[in-house]
Amino acid sequence: MKIAFDCQGGDHAPQAIVEGALKAKEALGIEPIFFGDAARLKAMEGVDETHIVHCASAITQEDSPALAIRKKKNSAIVMGLGALKEGKVDGMISAGSTGALLAGGMFIVKRKEGVERAALPVYLEISGQKKLILDVGANMDASPEMLLSFAEMGQSYLRDVEGVDAPTVALLNVGTEEGKGNQQVKAAYELMADGIEHFTGNIEARDVLFNNVNVIVTDGFAGNILLKTIEGTVGYIQHGVASAAKGSEKAGELKMLAKSILGDLDYSRYGGVPLLGLEKPVFKAHGASNAEAVLSATEALVRMVRGDEYREGAGQ
The residues that touch a copy of itself, with contacts defined as CB under 8 A, are 137, 140-141, 172, 174, 181-183, 185, 204-210, 219-222, 224-237, 239-241, 244, 254, 257, 260-262, 265
Element (H, E) at 54: strand 52-54
Residue 104 CB, nearest approach to a copy of itself (Å)? 20
Instruction: Evaluate whether 191 touches 184 at the Cβ level (below 8 Å).
Output: no
Measured from the CB atom, the residue of 27 and 237 that comes closer to a copy of itself is 237
Measured from the CB atom, the residue of 207 and 292 that comes closer to a copy of itself is 207
128: helix, coil or strand?
A: coil
Residue 124's Cβ-side half-sphere holds a number of Cα atoms within 13 Å equal to 26
Residue 166 CB, nearest approach to a copy of itself (Å)? 25
Q: What is the maximum alpha-carbon separation in the chain?
A: 63
CA distance 258 to 234: 10
Measured from the CB atom, the residue of 1 and 201 that comes closer to a copy of itself is 201
Cis preceding linkage at 14, omega within 30: yes
Residue 175 CB, nearest approach to a copy of itself (Å)? 9
Measured from the CB atom, the residue of 44 and 245 that comes closer to a copy of itself is 245
Measured from the CB atom, the residue of 38 and 262 that comes closer to a copy of itself is 262
Instruction: Evaluate whether 90 touches 281 at the Cβ level (below 8 Å).
Output: yes
Least Cα distance to 68 among 101, 91, 42 occurs for 101
Residue 230 CB, nearest approach to a copy of itself (Å)? 5
Residue 250 CB, nearest approach to a copy of itself (Å)? 9
Angle of the 183-195 helix axis to the 144-160 helix axis, nearest 10: 50
Residue 135 CB, nearest approach to a copy of itself (Å)? 11
Measured from the CB atom, the residue of 21 and 203 that comes closer to a copy of itself is 203
Angle of the 251-262 helix axis to the 220-245 helix axis, nearest 10: 160
